[in-house]
Each structure stands twice: as structure tokens, then as C-alpha cells.
Amino acid sequence: MTCVLLSSTAPFFAADLAAQGTSACCESGRAVARIVAPLKVIPLAELHFGSLVVGAQDGGTVTVRPDGGATVYSGSARSGCALGVRCGAHPGWFRVEGEPARQYRITLPPTVMARGLALPVLLEVRQLELLSRELGSSTGLGQLDERGHDQFLVGGTLEVPAGTAADIFRAELTLTVAYE
Amino acid sequence: MTRAFFPFLALGLLVETFVPVPLFGKTPEVSIIPERALQFGTFMVFGSGSRLVSASGAISDSSVIALDGTAPAPARFTVRYDRGNENNHVLDIELELAISDSPRTRVDGVEASVSSFETDLPGGAQVSSTKPVRMMIANCRARVCTRSFQVGGRLEVTRSFGGADVEVPIPIDVRIIAVERQR
């Protein structure tokens, strides 16, 4: 009698490694970004040097402080406001709105020229400076609060030559505000 | 007496050979693990604009103003192949990867979407649902083998009001094309 033994290499083992697989899967990655609203600057009050008088022989200056401190007169310049009349000097006042808790920077020109409405006379406004209420800083750096708000004030020094005729003088102040 | 026992011995052997052997391991499978989000950073836009972050991390802006914040960076994914058993054959696995355009997402006054995906895989400069890219996991000797790659894309933003933190899903699919055993 012949004994026939079958091969022990049986087709029951799995993992036919050369097979074309169709195993597939899907996943979802993420893309993230922070979109920041542009800064908005709202003027609340003009930089006002008030009503003043200056001598015929000597000129003078008027300095308005951004912190709202007392106006400083030098030379022959004096306040021209009568008692009880509200015509005094005060700093410019601006509100800023933007991204909460973000810092921003304000850039002022070194000088601006105020032009008389009646006469072609120019008066120089120099030493413009500002103060951020949130930071209490005068470096030009501001800080928006948790609501995205801040305010800053602008002061400066008006140079008034001797004998300047009575007039109303106005200047356009261009300032740049940008996120730091 | 010997002859009487022989048929029974042969039958016993035959019975043992035909008993099915239990299977070990499971079906091979592939998965994707998101390791890092595609970071577009922080920027300001007035109306509409876009930012491209490439698979290598290069940035290209259109009508946006960059601001300090999280640094832009490509996304990173890891593809994981599990052969399902403990054999030590050396495998070369070919996979196909596809990335679909993300759905448009709106958060408050900001709408955003991501498209123009690219990877740092060879031949994967542009990837979409209609233009997949092939990738290899070569010389796989362990049960589980992985390969990582980076993904860049273009974020398009339209802002109506305010600002927002936006998060956009990136649908990514991978499938096994072939598994070859090295000889």
C-alpha cells in the first residue's frame, strides 16, 4: 500500500501579499487663520489752541499738553478768553477701534501749518505729541483693550509771530494709525 | 498486525492535514494622522484677499496685510500602514492620496475657503480630488510603517465686518494601490 501524504503548505493561511488592496480611509485636517479687522479712528475733538493774543513787538507760543494739563504760554502770547467764556485750549481727542488686546502705533507729522481763514498767513504747529489712554504712553504706542477700544490725545505747540493779525487759523492734521 | 494498523495511521495523518489552521492578524489597513494644522497666521484684510502657504512654508500674500501672531506653516500628516500580521517580509507599499477643496466656512463677518493644495511628495506639487498623487512607503519591515508629508494651500478670505478666528476642514483621502514583497 502506498501512503500518500498531502503537502502541509495549505491555502488556508491568509495574507496574499501581492494582492491589489482597496483599503482606503479618509481624514479631515484643519486650516486655521486669524483675520483681524482694520483699525478705525474716530475724531472726537479737534486740537484747539483757543483764543489768544500776542504782542506787536514780540511773538510767543502756546503749548497744549496731551494729558490735559494747563496750557503753557510763552513770550508775549496770552489767553484771549474772557472769564466765563469757553474758548480755552484743549488737546485733540481720538477713539480707536480694532482687534482686542492688540497694540497699534500712531505716527504724527513733525509739523503742520495752520492757515488763516481771512488772511494768507501761516502759523506753524510743532512738537506734536500724543498720549494713549490705555497705555498711558507718549511714545506713539497704543494698546486696545479687551473690547478692542482705546483713545489717544494729541497736543502741540503753536508758534505765533509778533504782530499776527486777528484771524481764525485752521490746520489739517494727518496721522497714521497701524497695528504694531 | 502491522498491516492492520497502517490504514488507521494514514487516516489519522489525513485528518490532521485537512483541519483548517486558525488565521492570525487582520486585513491590512491604512490611516492618516493629522499632525499639524495648516497655519495661515494673522493678517488684516479690507474686503477680499488671499494668502498662500506652500508645502515648504513660503508665503505669498494678495491684498492682505501681515500682522504679528502665529507663524504661518504648512500642515503635516502621517500615513500609517498596518500589514495586519507579524510576518517580517519587506514590503513596498504604493498609496494614492487625494485632497478635496474645503467647504466655504463663515464666522461672523468673515468667509473663508482653502484650495490649490500642494504637497512636498515627489510629483505632488498640486493635489486635488481629481488629481491625486502617488506615494510610496518603501522597505517596510515592521508591522506598522509610516510616512509623513507636508501640505500647503491657498486661503481666500472675504470680510464684511469685524474679524474672526477661522477654522476650515481639509478633507484628505488615501487608499492602497499595491503592496509588493521585495525578493
What is the per-residue pLDDT for A22? 56
Alpha carbon of residue B126 to chain centroid:
15
Residues B98-155 pLDDT 10s = 999 888 999 999 999 999 999 999 987 899 888 999 999 999 999 999 999 999 999 9
Helix (H, G, I), strand (E, B) or coil at A59: coil
Q: Complex ipTM above 0.95? A: no
Q: How confident is the model at residue A17 (pLDDT cuts 50, 70, 90)?
A: very low
What is the per-residue pLDDT for B182? 80
What is the per-residue pLDDT for A81? 78
Q: Look up residue B122 and give its DSSP letter.
A: T
Alpha carbon of residue A158 to chain centroid:
24
Compare CB distances from A31 to B10, B153, B173 and report the shortest one's residue. B153
Helix (H, G, I), strand (E, B) or coil at B14: helix
Give CA–CA dist B42/B63, Å, rounded.
Answer: 14
Cα–Cα distance list, A74 to A23, A160, B39, B68, B146 (Å): 87, 10, 57, 44, 79
Residues A127-149 pLDDT 10s = 999 998 877 777 888 889 999 99
Alpha carbon of residue B144 to chain centroid:
15
Compare CB distances from B23 to A14, A21, A38 and report the shortest one's residue. A14
Q: Which residue of A has its CA nearest to B51?
A: A33
What is the per-residue pLDDT for A140? 86
Q: Which residues of A touch B114 (CB under 8 A)?
A: 31
Q: Are A31 and B155 inside 8 Å of each other by CB? A: yes
- Note whether A23 and B28 are within 8 A (CB): yes
Tell me the pTM.
0.72
Q: Are B37 and A31 inside 8 Å of each other by CB? A: yes
- Note whether B108 and B144 are within 8 A (CB): no
Give CA–CA dist B6/B3, Å, rounded.
Answer: 5
Choose, out of A34, A104, A144, the residue to mutate when testing the contact with B (most B CBs < 10 Å). A34
Residue type, B68: D
Q: Is the pLDDT of residue A41 over 90?
A: yes
Please state, as a whole number, how many other Cβ atoms lie within 10 Å of the Cβ of residue B38: 27
Give CA–CA dist A114/A64, Å, rounded.
Answer: 15
Choose, out of B8, B13, B29, B176, the residue to mutate when testing the contact with A (most A CBs < 10 Å). B176
